[in-house]
Chains A and B, each alone.
Chain A
């Protein structure tokens, strides 16, 4: 939701990034204020997944120029784990499986790491158990998931729910959801979307990176952006997503090229 006089959470200015010498992001500009929900759309290869990884601090991407401020601080000098502790959360398109590591222990480890960083009390296993079970209800998750290994043998939908459960526990200031709708059937999509909507507050912000409009029916964005060739070429309100669904991406690209020619 757009709130008046809300604080800027993320400010990306002229960001350029490359992987193994190949430029992927080219002068990316993007601003997020607290309370807002953004959707970044675009065809495959437009750089939207790269952008989410760059924000989360993936070490394979080299920042060649530009700035990223997160709550007024330089995000680019923080390692991935420091960004997580500072309040950035990335829900993965393909969450990894960790056999032999109990989900409950793993969730408690990440939760307590965040708590320590915020100067708050850690929870012991019993306290955490109560806490996490309450959060699991939000996502209609079976408590059996706590006793299983992290994501091991989970279905696609179960993995995505486990991602959003982590978001619920870590309470990030900025949550980036990378293709969260992929691999979800309609029931799972509704549950996950409901969970995310419950977690959206006036103090945090959500960025959805998605190829399809489907997810946006359930999590309604305040802003929709179209990426192409490593930059945002068009921004609009939620109606833009519907227009993209109906007309595809080509017209946006044409429009952008025409505007560029005029500018030149």
Chain B
């Protein structure tokens, strides 16, 4: 161990909270309360260690050695600096730089729905916000969600009134531009009855030094709402990224999520989906990591009512001395009869030092359900390599192509064509495929 003194968790958290009191007091009492409760929650929690069951593979000690401040310098990015992050189909785009809303970089074209920054929408939509903001992502035992909530100020809001179908995807772009900064991206999506919307949550970086993104996202789906959620984590190489997403589904709603984790030195994604009667969800994921990266995904699909359907395919491609973690819990509660759930975790280890800890967890308190799960870990299939070689493709190229294809199976599920293509290209580069 190095000579650096590791601060006790409480001191570290106090430091992180130091500038919280600088936040302007909101005119909305409920928001001040929400923040206040979160500050209190932080004071009762600690930074998790390897001794915590939920964090036993993900060592945060490196994070606690960093001295981090919220960004306080003004945004000095031009539209041209971030143009390469644009997604063709997404004409509506909310951009946050180091957690701060950037109106000049954003573009709002969609009409008939609420879309914008929390600060601007707060007064107009106070009642609806009060009903949902912070009420889906639990602070309970989650110090990072509590920290994010304590700093709640700017946030991406998408709220669709009853029976609104938005065809073009909405792009939420969170850009890290400064080092040693902690940012608290926050998102709330509320889709009322029969709404349809596609949301892309995208974390990117313009620099390679260390920083910390601590993001919280909440999705609320009313009856029969259909939401497609694509999450892309492509942070800088030395970044720390911890994100939590809570999706609360109502009767016969449909939530389809694809999350891709390829950036950050250390990343953790918690996805909690609360199912309702007749609701459907998919929660697919791909972690593509190498060198000394760690990518940890924890998901919980909670079938609390009858007739729910869930599908999950989680894949990891692990190279170098990287470490992937997957913990996928499917809960079928008492009374959730006719639950139909399939879960599959597949990992490709590319080197001897690559490493995965995968744990599918099924907890069923009920008869009359159909639940399957399975996990595979391994190298490429020799028959598949042989097939490509029998077409004249060299062995190396065949292996690269199959590695790429392993990941592409998840990427192909992204419902936005240009994003799918650009991620395919990224994966091709990382797997050295030439076509």
Q: Mark A51-68, 1 if CB is under 8 A from B, else 0.
A: 001001111100000000
Asked whether A106 lies within 8 Å of B386 as measured between CB atoms, the reply is no
Check if B392 sits within 8 Å of A84, measured CB to CB.
Answer: yes
Question: Which one of A80, A92, A101 lies within 8 Å of B401 (CB-CB)?
Answer: A101
> Is A49 on the interface with B (CB-CB < 8 A)?
no
Please give, as numbers and ranges, the residues of chain A lying within 8 Å of B408 by CB-CB distance.
99-101, 149
**Shortest beta-carbon distance, A87 to chain B, in Å?**
10
A105 contacts which chain B residues (CB < 8 A)?
A: 435
Cβ contacts under 8 Å, B402 to chain A: 98
B430 CB → nearest A CB, Å: 13
* Residues from chain B with Cβ under 8 Å of A109 in the complex: 393, 435
Is the C-beta of A8 less than 8 angstroms from some C-beta in chain B?
no
Would you call A96 an interface residue if the criterion is a C-beta within 8 Å of the partner chain's C-beta atoms?
Answer: yes
Chain B residues with Cβ below 8 Å from A83 are 390
Q: Please, what's the 1-or-0 string for B158-178, where 1 marks a CB less than 8 Å from any CB in chain A?
A: 000000000000000000000
Given A59-B386, A100-B409, A117:B392 Cβ within 8 A? yes
Give the B interface residue count (CB, 8 A).
26
Residues from 61 to 77 in B contacting A, C-beta threshold 8 Å: none
A-B Cβ contacts below 8 A, count: 75
Instruction: Kindly state the separation between the CA atoms of A85 and B389 in the bound complex, as whole angstroms.
Output: 10
Known: A79-B395, A106-B435. A99 touches B409 (CB 8 A): yes
B126-163, CB < 8 A from A: none
A59 & B435 in contact (Cβ 8 Å cutoff): no
Least distance between B145 CB and chain A CB atoms (Å): 34
Chain A residue contacts of B405, Cβ below 8 A: 98-101
Chain A CB within 8 A of B419 CB: no
Q: Does B387 contact A (CB under 8 A)?
A: yes
Alpha-carbon separation in the docked complex, A100 to B288 (Å): 15
* Alpha-carbon distance A98/B427, docked complex (angstroms): 14
Q: Tell me whether B424 and A100 are in contact (CB under 8 A).
A: yes
Say whether A113 contacts B392, CB under 8 Å. Answer: yes
- Knowing that A81-B398, A100-B411, A101-B401 touch, tell me 17 more A-B residue pairs with CB under 8 angstroms: A57-B390, A81-B390, A81-B394, A84-B390, A85-B392, A90-B390, A98-B401, A99-B412, A100-B404, A100-B407, A100-B412, A101-B404, A102-B435, A110-B391, A113-B392, A113-B393, A166-B391
Residues of B at the A interface (CB closer than 8 Å) are 382-384, 386-395, 398, 401-402, 404-405, 407-409, 411-412, 424, 427, 435
Interface residues of A (CB under 8 A from B): 53, 56-60, 79-81, 83-85, 89-90, 92, 95-96, 98-102, 105-106, 109-110, 113-114, 117, 149, 166, 170
9 closest A-B pairs by CB: A100-B408, A80-B389, A84-B392, A99-B409, A113-B392, A110-B391, A105-B435, A81-B389, A98-B405
